[in-house]
Amino acid sequence: MHISASVQFRTHSIRGVAQSGSALDLGSSGRRFESCLPDQLTNALDNILKTCFPIGEGINRNVQFQKEIFMFKHLALAAAALCCVAMSAQVQAQPAASVTVASDYSWRGISFNNYSGAAVQGDMNYTTGYGLTAGAWVGNIAMAGFGGYEFDPYLNYAHNFGDIQVYGTFMWYTFARSAVANTLETTAGVKMFGANISASWIPQYFGADTSSMYYQGNYAYQINDKFWFVPQVGYTNMGEAIQTLWDSYFHYKLGLQYRQDKYTMEMFYSETNRNLNNAVGTSNGKTQDDAMIVSLTMQM
């Protein structure tokens, strides 16, 4: 078992909890997008991309680079559209941020810091009164082949139907030292009565020519006004190409949270049934993913 002695995090952000909100009534406000997103904005983005990513004539852009350009451009346009909605809405917008110190960065049961280093992570987002949220998550990583830091911009929409909330999220995982692994993920989920169930689709799994599906469910059980018990189970369905590394797998988490004002401390145990395959030069066998992690988050 890996035991961490410092502090790990899951922000109360899009990465963990969907934002509430109501549906947008387009009507006359729907025309706002025409004036806010003129052709000049698209042309300006093209000029920025050409300046930041110069490519000489006769040199073909590879598929991954084209995907980077496409995603950057459309996320920027979507963020601009969200700003237009916020400016035209006669409702109160909600900016939010959080900072966390962490013993490890555990993503779906896999350590991105090799169980050996603390992580500092943060989230900033802006939510309109229509349930639309734009934000970005950032954190340091130490996984072999990645390193440096991870920066994940996202867009989210959530709508409440009484005690039931449905939400959808587009998240773009980007890595400072491994651009080929940059990955888009689409998530749809529902929250009700303390439970959160979601399904996520990745068309290209961190640079591999294969897709992946992820299903998860968690439940926040309130013990008293300060303590919460949060179990979670998830299943990652790997595509054929990635199964040369490891098979599809389950991961499990048992967490205990202490919440006080703007602070949340959590201690949780995480484990998977992930098995490595001979194709990566290792003998078949269970990976050592079990870990005890403690986290501290401050909402700002």
Say whether pTM exceeds 0.75: no
Rg (CA), the chain: 20
* Choice between 35 and 141, residue whose per-residue pLDDT is larger: 141
Pairing of strands 291-299, 2-3: parallel
Instruction: Assign 72 a pLDDT band (cuts: 50, 70, 90).
Output: low
**Phi, psi of 210, rounded to the nearest 5 degrees:** -160, 155
The SS3 assignment for 119 reads strand
Which pLDDT does position 261 carry in this prediction? 94
Pairing of strands 195-202, 183-192: antiparallel
**Angle, CA 272 vertex, CA 271 and CA 276 arms, to 5°:** 135
pLDDT tens digits along 100-151 = 998 999 999 988 887 667 889 999 999 988 899 999 999 998 876 676 889 9
Q: How far is it, in rounded angstroms, from Cα 216 to Cα 59?
A: 43
* Choice between 114 and 60, residue whose per-residue pLDDT is larger: 114
Which pLDDT does position 279 carry in this prediction? 47
Locus of tokens 């110190």: 101
Evaluate if residue 69 carries a pLDDT over 60: no
Instruction: Assign 184 a pLDDT band (cuts: 50, 70, 90).
Output: very high
What number of other Cβ atoms are within 10 A of residue 13's Cβ?
A: 25
Q: How far is it, in rounded angstroms, from Cα 5 to Cα 288?
A: 18
Q: CB under 8 Å to 44, separation ≥6 — which residues?
A: none
Which pLDDT does position 54 carry in this prediction? 44
Residue 206 is inside which H or E element, if any?
A: none
Locus of tokens 């602070």: 263
The SS3 assignment for 55 reads coil
Q: Which fold has domain 2-23+92-299?
A: Porin (2.40.160)
Which pLDDT does position 281 carry in this prediction? 45
Helix residue spans in 89-146 (DSSP H): none
Token pair listed for 265: 């401390």
Residue 43 is inside which H or E element, if any?
A: helix 39-52
Quick one: what percent of the chain has pLDDT higher than 70?
63
Locus of tokens 């988050």: 297
Instruction: Assign 178 a pLDDT band (cuts: 50, 70, 90).
Output: confident
Token pair listed for 72: 């950057």
Q: How far is it, in rounded angstroms, from Cα 211 to Cα 229?
A: 33
Pairing of strands 106-107, 164-175: unpaired
Q: How far is it, in rounded angstroms, from Cα 228 to Cα 14?
A: 20
Evaluate if residue 9 carries a pLDDT over 50: no
Evaluate if residue 209 carries a pLDDT over 60: yes
DSSP category for residue 198: E
Residue ranges per structural domain of the chain:
2-23+92-299
Beta strands in 141-223 (DSSP E): 149-161, 164-175, 183-192, 195-202, 212-219, 221-222
Between the two ends of the chain, the Cα-to-Cα distance in Å is 34
* Choice between 282 and 193, residue whose per-residue pLDDT is larger: 193
DSSP category for residue 114: T
Which pLDDT does position 276 carry in this prediction? 75
DSSP category for residue 143: -
Evaluate if residue 228 carries a pLDDT over 90: yes
Locus of tokens 């189970």: 233
